[in-house]
A and B are shown apart, each in its own frame.
Chain A
Amino acid sequence: MSGGPSARDAVLGRVRAALGVDSRDPGRRAAIADRLAAHRAGIVPARGHIPPAEQVDLYENRLKGVMATVERLPDAASVPGAVAAVLRDRNLPAAIRIGDDPRLAAMPWGAVPTLAVSRGRSFGADLAAVSHAFAAVAETGTTMLVSGPDNPTTLNFLPDLHIIVVDAADIAGDFETVIARLRARYGEGEMPRTVNFVTGPSRSADIEQTLVLGAHGPRALHVLIVG
């Protein structure tokens, strides 16, 4: 079989020969290690540099711009009722799939007895799923989800309707802020298996450049901003 250690040496050897560099040069190694450790921010658009309350407004505004729907709720206790209403409005069955996220688990789902709540990943049969966001980026109306038992990644892509709960306090102005939060949670250089930055429902313009929603992922994205 091809590849293997010889291919690795060949590729790296060609790169070094073409650049005329020495891999043992300690100055080069130190410079790269420093740059990786510093992970400095570059140009951050001024758009997100606004007070937190305005960041929530900007996030809401951008979500609408990418054809998501959004509502603001006073508290987490309002989420189950809002979820049931969204399903009703869209003529979907009163059933959702969720993961083990403790913030979702603490919500009073029993207050909406008609709503069937099942737990776990999706295998493709669920029409609606509810996830809890890790964070959100006001700059572009982007919502950030991380994988794990709390919020299985399959829930973000297989259902027709994806409902994401976002704590208003988790909304940041820009990507650099949420990257810093990810690092604070998982450690320097460490990541969850999957991070999904979601900006609107699935879409395609592959046919005559006509934009159509609901390509292979969710046909609709509904965001509930809590607080």
Chain B
Amino acid sequence: MQTTSPRFKQNAAEALVDPNLQQALGMVERGFIVKRRDAAAALPEFDALRASGRAIKDHVLENLDLYLEAYEKKATEAGAKVHWAVDAADARDIILGICQAAGAKTVTKGKSMVTEEIGLNDHLSANGITPVETDLGEYIIQLRGEHPSHIIAPAIHLTRAQIADDFRRVHTHLDPARPLEEAPTLLAEARGVMRERFLAADVGITGANFLVAETGTSIIVTNEGNGDLTQILPRVHVVVASIEKLVPTLEDVAQIVRILARSATGQEMSVYTTLSTGPRRPGDPDGPEEYHVVLLDNGRSAMLGSEFQDMLRCIRCGACMNHCPVYGAIGGHAYGWVYPGPMGAVLTPALIGIDKAAHLPNASTFCGRCEAVCPMQIPLPKMMRHWREREFERHLQPGTVRAGLGLWAFLARRPALYRLATGLAARALGLFGKRKGRFAALPLAGGWTAHRDMAAPEGRTFQDLWAAGERRR
């Protein structure tokens, strides 16, 4: 997928003044945040399960070579054809080859972020094969020629009215005067349109939430049932999974699914958790005759053994972005690539390069909510700091930022001078800001005061107050 991450700042500025986007983002809080909180509170073992899930993933990552081999062996014994892809181009070619060998004209797709990552749809289209996204949100954004703005709610940036306009534009075989105001009407229309495509597809492509080494099984977790119709109706089922999706056993899956949906949508379980092992068996009346699994590295192995290894525990629940004030203000598209929000701010630089994604680790207030809600306890703010350090080392920041940091470091290493400078500044700002208690404009701080006032200090620094014994608990 093409990235617009390098123009993150312009993306964000445009997002802040997009009325449709701001209306849509306003619904995140009463949705995901409240539901996740209630679901976590209703399960006394929730935090113990988080620690358990983390330990499982850490163990797998430390032994990933052996688990990949074990998985491949079991899957192959069950009749799967396992393919290995070093990078996105490898994966695209493998999948195209499977589709061509199947004589495929149309391909249905379950929701899969990894196929976004490898730019699969464009590659299939360019080679004369029509990819059909079947998840409702993915279908809507495919109609619009867009990409997902959220990893589990791809069309969260859109309002009902926008979706209704798209359906009228594209579903021209239906009565133009039909009512399309409410979500159930829109869903019913998409269901009807999609049914024929499910039944007509030659190949079905899904992602995977887990690959189970014990049994050679791939697992998808969905609510709509589209992933299942995608994989049981066509003659060929292709699973695309990145290598960190491995878990050892079914018991390990049980640990992680207990926190996955609760963290994502606040459900105790998603509606469909589906385990697939090999192709259709003798005597089976349905299911695919061919079952392929494409194991994709595409930059993951380089994260192993680095300060970014913990990121590979991510189970793609989306809790970090749901709770992120920056994501909540600008939405997912501003991040400019497949993975938005805090997990994207850490993962994107690892996968496309920090030179292209340098703004993303800086798009954080370090409030820490992402780490606090992460079911896999991934230290997202810490890893964003690691990226900032790498940016500094590689001189990727603008000169003004480096100069400012240099000035701050100069003062911070000289405590007497630091106290003098901050004391003067606090007194001066306190004096000038006394009347209103805030500044509507301030030299060198236009980036701040353009959007909100700067609070005026009261005249003394924190260190002064601390020294004077003014401590409040």
Q: Which residue numbers of A lie inside 8 Å of B, CB to CB?
A: 1-4, 7-8, 10-12, 14-21, 23, 28-29, 31-32, 35-36, 39-43, 45-47, 62, 65-66, 99, 120-124, 139-142, 147-149, 152-154, 156-158, 174-176, 179, 182-183, 189-210, 212, 214-218
Contacts and interface: CB of A to CB of B under 8 A. Distances in A.
Contacts of B156: 206, 209
B66 A23 contact: yes
A148 B136 contact: no
Give the one of B56, B252, B255, B275 with max A CB within 10 A: B275
Contacts of A207: 136, 140, 155, 158, 160, 163, 183, 186-187
Interface stretch (B9-17, B284-292, B365-373, B439-447): B284-292
A201 B271 contact: yes
A7 B86 contact: yes
A16 B258 CA distance: 31
17 contacts: A2-B89, A3-B83, A3-B84, A36-B249, A142-B273, A147-B284, A152-B285, A157-B229, A176-B254, A191-B215, A193-B279, A196-B274, A199-B269, A199-B273, A207-B163, A212-B184, A217-B225
A175 B287 contact: no
Contacts of B89: 2
Contacts of A209: 27-28, 31-32, 153, 156
B284 A193 contact: yes
- Determine chain A's interface SS by DSSP, over half rule: loop
A183 B366 CA distance: 46
8 A-B pairs with the lowest CB-CB distances in the bound complex, closest first: A217-B225, A215-B224, A206-B137, A14-B301, A18-B304, A209-B31, A195-B275, A197-B273
Interface string B157-188: 01110010000000000000000000110111
B470 to A, nearest CB: 46
B248 A36 contact: yes
A12 to B, nearest CB: 5
Given A11-B301, A140-B269, A205 B225 contact: no
A36 B70 contact: yes
A218 B65 CA distance: 40
Nearest to A11: B297
A28 B283 CA distance: 40
Contact of B286 (A154, A199, A217, A218): A154
Contacts of A99: 285
A18 B268 contact: no
Contacts of B302: 14, 18
A205 B30 CA distance: 13
Contacts of B265: 205
B223 A12 contact: no
A99 B83 CA distance: 34
Interface in B236-288: 243, 248-252, 254-255, 257-258, 265, 267-281, 283-287
B232 interface: yes
A208 B24 contact: yes
Nearest to A45: B45
A149 B134 CA distance: 27
Contact of A217 (B59, B215, B224): B224
B85 A3 contact: yes
Contacts of A179: 250-251, 254
Contacts of A3: 83-85, 90, 93-94, 294
A2 B94 contact: yes
Contact of A202 (B94, B224, B268): B224
A191 B86 contact: no
A32 B214 contact: no
Interface size class of B (residues with CB under 8 A): 35 or more
Contacts of B153: 205-206, 209
Contact of B44 (A42, A46, A175, A214): A46
Given A157-B229, A216-B134, A216-B226, A40 B251 contact: yes
Contact of B224 (A15, A174, A198, A204): A204
A194 B136 contact: no
B20 to A, nearest CB: 11
Nearest to B64: A15
Given A208-B24, A216-B226, 10 more contacts: A18-B305, A65-B268, A148-B284, A153-B232, A176-B251, A182-B250, A209-B32, A209-B153, A216-B198, A216-B229
A206 B265 CA distance: 11
Contacts of B65: 12, 15-16, 19, 21, 23
B63 interface: yes
Interface centre among B86, B90, B194, B271 (most CB of A within 10 A): B271
Contacts of B49: 42-43
A197 B260 CA distance: 15
Interface centre among B93, B223, B279 (most CB of A within 10 A): B223
B183 A217 contact: no
B398 to A, nearest CB: 32
A101 to B, nearest CB: 12
B409 to A, nearest CB: 33
Contacts of A43: 45, 48-49, 52, 255
A199 B268 contact: yes
B375 interface: no
B363 to A, nearest CB: 23
Contacts of B294: 3
A128 to B, nearest CB: 16
Contact of A12 (B28, B69, B97, B275): B69
Nearest to A156: B228
Contacts of B270: 199
B301 A18 contact: yes
B285 A149 contact: yes
B85 A2 contact: yes
B43 interface: yes
